[in-house]
Amino acid sequence: MKKMIFILITCLQLYSIDNAQTFWQMLYSSHDLAGLGQDRNLEVNSKGHVFYNTFTGIYRSTDEGKSWKFISDFPNTSLDGGYTIKILNNDRILAGSQGVIFLSDDEGSTWYECASLHYFNDEYLCLGFATGSEETILAASWGGGVYISTNNGNNWTKFGMSVGSNYLRAIGVNYDGKAYAASDEWIYESTDNGWTWKNVGRLNTHNHAVVTNFAFQKDNTIFVGTSNEGVYISRDHGRNWQLANKGIEQQYVMSLTVDSSGALWVGTDSSGVFHSTNNGTSWRRVNSGITDSLYITLTISANGYMYAASQLGSIYRSVNPVTAIDEKENKIPTNFYLSQNYPNPFNPTTTINYSIPKTSFVSIKVYDVLGKEIAALVNEEKNVGSYDVKFYPRGLASGIYFYKMQSSDFIEIRKLVYLK
């Protein structure tokens, strides 16, 4: 009898946690939006427009998810739904599918093929994108390893060295610019924008779990979601891993993200959404308002709202922002500004902040001590706001370099020091 009472009290406590306050509101539901349930198929751009990659193709919503339009009429192909999408800083969209990467500069109204992921008769699946330093984009493929673009997705190169078995399910880049890729339970690291890789660690799984996605905190703690053991954490750049899944009822992680406060969010394949504010030490279920919890994928918009999509075609949004918006990030600059790079001296990468008070063409270039241009970090029109850009000095010798920002009548030059 006591055991039955204890079980009843525990169930009531769990129900109370999950339903004390409605967290989610359903925005739309249709079998047209039956989705793939992957971490990489739901994105929000800087305008708040939502993009969802489904079984039948990509849909776009311009009213925060309340209505949707089919947009992925890929040219010269019979492909339907893709495997991954990625919105870049300039709202350019990459879509990776079987054997092809497509690109759109007009929010998906038109597309063109920018990469062929073929080798003889093999068509590799594109399963993930990650943004590196400068204009570098990395793509993880199933069977073809890593593909690299150094010009913001326009052209791609199949990278030559083997990354594990070259069957990659996930790829990501941390705040220091180090790239990580996963082949089953093995973790690989690159410190040069994906050109060379080394095996750094392995998950000690018990049920042959494989890595499905990466997430990073600002202190470069790494989290990975797995196929049947929930979340693992590494605090030493992927060398050692520990389970961090207490309280996740269904441990196939479809989606894993870190919000601006450092809290973790997980979408699972049959138990909905879980949230952790203590680095995965414990989790609580956050399903109130969700009526269809199969294969949940998640993303966070720039204004702090969490979006969720289910495999059966339901789109949800959090009733309130999940994090407070950083005032610094949303404050409108009143002057042009170029920061000192940090860290400085640096190795392997460094970050430069800059601000512009009006829409302007911005140029930020790096020079050696003789005035020779080394790299163009920014060379395009930017809207008013504050930005960061990373510099990775591939192939350069140790020494002193200079970077110059020019926009309208503003010109400023600062010094940076690279130490190998």
Omega of the bond leading into 343 within 30 degrees of 0 (cis): yes
The sheet with strand 84-87 has its strands ordered as: 84-87, 93-96, 100-104, 112-116
Question: Could you tell me which of 392, 390, 388 has the C-alpha nearest to residue 355?
Answer: 388
| pTM of the complete model | 0.74
Determine the Cα–Cα distance for residues 252 and 273; give it in Å rounded to an integer: 11
Cβ partners under 8 Å of residue 68, min gap 6: 28, 30, 32, 33, 52, 59, 60, 61, 315
Confirm if 50 and 65 have CB atoms less than 8 A apart: yes
Question: Could you tell me which of 138, 140, 162 has the C-alpha nearest to residue 150?
Answer: 138
Structure tokens at 99: 């054997």
3-state SS, residue 369: coil
Structure tokens at 375: 């790299």
pLDDT of residue 140: 92
Structure tokens at 233: 């954490």
Cβ partners under 8 Å of residue 7, min gap 6: none
Q: Which helix (H) or strand (E) holds 242?
A: strand 242-243
3-state SS, residue 5: helix
Please list the pLDDT of the chain residue by residue as tens digits (420 residues): 434 433 333 343 333 344 446 899 999 999 888 877 777 889 999 889 999 988 788 999 999 999 999 998 776 665 556 689 999 878 999 999 888 999 999 999 999 999 988 876 778 888 899 998 778 899 999 988 999 999 889 999 887 556 777 899 899 999 888 999 999 899 999 988 888 899 999 998 887 889 999 999 988 899 999 998 999 999 999 999 999 988 887 789 999 999 988 899 999 998 999 999 999 999 999 999 999 888 899 999 988 899 999 988 999 999 999 875 443 444 567 788 898 888 888 888 888 888 888 889 999 999 999 999 999 999 998 888 888 888 888 888 999 999 999 998 899 999 998 987
DSSP secondary structure string, 382-397?
E-SEEEEEEE--TTPP
Q: What Rg value do the Cα atoms of the chain yield, rounded?
A: 22
Residue 32: DSSP 8-state: G
Structure tokens at 270: 């049959």
Start and end residues for every CATH 2.130.10.10 domain found in the chain: 22-318
Residue with tokens 């960061």: 388
Question: Which residue type, as a one-letter code, is found at position 9?
Answer: I
Determine the Cα–Cα distance for residues 420 and 416; give it in Å rounded to an integer: 13
Determine the Cα–Cα distance for residues 334 and 356; give it in Å rounded to an integer: 8
228, with CB counted inside 10 A (0-12, 13-18, 19+), is middle
Tell me yes or no: is domain 331-418 CATH 2.60.40.1930: yes
Cβ partners under 8 Å of residue 48, min gap 6: 64, 301, 302, 303
CA pseudo-torsion sign 226, 229, 231, 234:
negative
Confirm if 224 and 214 have CB atoms less than 8 A apart: yes
Confirm if 144 and 119 have CB atoms less than 8 A apart: yes
Which numeric CATH code is attached to 22-318? 2.130.10.10
Other CB atoms within 10 A of residue 332 CB: 10
β-strand pairing of 84-87 with 93-96 = antiparallel
Q: What is the dihedral of CA 186, 190, 193, 194, to 10 degrees?
A: -50
pLDDT of residue 31: 86
Start and end residues for every CATH 2.60.40.1930 domain found in the chain: 331-418
